[in-house]
Amino acid sequence: MIKIAIIDDYTSDASTLAEWARLPDNYRVDFFQEHITDLEELIAMLIEYEILVVMRERTIISSELIAALPNLKMIITSGMYNAAIDFSAAEENKVLICGTESSGVSTTEQTWALILSLTHNIVSEHNHMMNGLWQQSLATELNQKNLGIIGLGRIGLEVAKIGMAFGMNVFAWSQNLTKDYAEQNGINFIKSKEEICEISDILSLHVRLSERTINLITKQELTIMQDHAFIINTSRGPIINEIDLIEALKNQVIAGAGLDVYDSEPLPKNHSLRKLNNVVLSPHLGYGTKELMTKFFNQILENIEAYIANQPIRVITEPPHRSTYS
């Protein structure tokens, strides 16, 4: 029996989102919901599996883990980018890595869900309504406000377009962004990270996690933001220094934060962010829609079928960056 492990299936939906019965009778798929961080527990759980299916960057697939799994022949990740996999160790142990196509739609929508929740006090006013109260605060309009985008890739550009539809003044900066590209998309080009932090009423982050972007936003950047400003992160947690962010929120250096991603996921139960009243938190829903997961698991199934036919597809041969998780 050839065994396939699908781990970090938080919502227990993986078993229903693809036709796993298409696989030959000698292939068995097991689904694991509990997130495990202990290396020895992971090894014990996965020791018998030939194919390991992971959700992007939920679990660290370290060199130690890969080396300790003698049957492992293939890792499939959602998306074509996973900074939590040790690619060198996979290559050394002759483990094939494949991925799936992705979409920025859900992340774009989640970004705007957080922005609107913060500026219109949706969470707090909902709680007031459920407690019998009526209109305890004033919302903030988006029209004519400054939206700062750090990272004008596929998702950043879509977020910017929606900002323009709200009548916002949209600005963008990143280390690789050119003035021509920004302006041809109708977006104001900003020369420095400091300037975009200073002028933004809402600052939204849309860069990949890499050595260049870890701690991209620290106390220094938060301090120069306006005290009425909001920061949004739907990219990766470590892009913002979490300790500095918590301190800034506690001291009301900025008005609030909308977060869908964290240094540690799932977010620990007693984490300091859970105790703040000027945040809107969501559990990485930008990577958790029915449509996106259906796409992932159907392509994961296709990858397994191609592997069985000895014609692998969507092979990832090189890491996009050296892992910041290892």
What 8-state DSSP symbol labels residue 248? H
* Vertex 144: Cα angle to 143 and 148 (nearest 5): 100
pTM: 0.91
Q: Which residues are designated catalytic?
A: 236, 265, 284
| SS3 of residue 54 by DSSP | strand
CB 106 within 8 A of CB 287: yes
Which one, of 161, 207, 221, 212, lies nearest residue 324 by Cα?
212
Distance of alpha carbon 21 from alpha carbon 143, whole angstroms: 51
CA distance 181 to 201: 23
Q: Give me the CATH code for the 105-287 domain, please.
A: 3.40.50.720
pLDDT score for 81: 86
DSSP-assigned states of every residue in 85-154: B-HHHHHHTT-EEE-----SHHHHHHHHHHHHHHHTTHHHHHHHHHTT----S-----TTPEEEEE--SH
- Coil, helix or strand at residue 47: coil
Q: What gap in Å lies between CA 73 and CA 64, rounded to an integer?
A: 15
Distance, CA of 263 to chain centre:
11
Residue 154 · residue 160 · CB < 8 Å: no
pLDDT attached to residue 324: 41
Give the pLDDT confidence score for residue 287 in this predicted structure. Answer: 87
* Sequence-distant (≥ 6) Cβ neighbours of residue 213 within 8 angstroms: 207, 236, 239
In whole angstroms, how far apart are CA 95 and each of 38, 42, 90, 273?
22, 17, 5, 38
Residue-level pLDDT, tens digit, the chain, 326 residues? 999 999 999 999 999 999 999 999 999 999 999 999 999 999 999 999 999 999 988 899 999 999 999 999 999 999 998 889 999 999 999 999 999 998 889 999 999 999 999 999 999 999 999 999 999 999 999 999 999 999 999 999 999 999 999 999 999 999 999 999 999 999 999 999 999 999 999 999 999 988 899 999 999 999 999 999 999 999 999 999 999 999 999 999 999 999 999 999 999 999 999 999 999 999 999 988 999 999 999 999 999 999 999 999 999 987 755 444 33
The yes-or-no answer to whether 2-99+289-308 and 105-287 have a common fold is: yes
State which amino acid sits at residue 40: E
Domain residue ranges in the chain:
2-99+289-308, 105-287
Residue 321, pLDDT score:
52
- Residue 319, phi then psi, degrees to nearest 5: -70, 140
Count CB neighbours of 209 within 10 A: 23
**Which residue is listed with tokens 């049957």?**
71
User: Over the Cα atoms of the chain, what is R_g?
Assistant: 21
Residue with tokens 């005290």: 227
Q: Which of 207, 243, 233 is nearest to 115 (CA)?
A: 233
Which residue is it, tokens 């698991």? 297
Token digits of residue 107: 């992340």
Distances from the Cα of 193 to the Cα of 212, 214, 268, angstroms: 13, 14, 31
For the chain, the 3-state helix, strand and coil shares in percent, each to the nearest 5, are 35, 15, 50
Please state the CATH superfamily assignment of the domain spanning residues 2-99+289-308 in this structure: NAD(P)-binding Rossmann-like Domain (3.40.50.720)
User: Do residues 96 and 72 lie in contact, with contact meaning Cβ atoms separated by under 8 Å?
Assistant: no
Structure tokens at 61: 């697939």
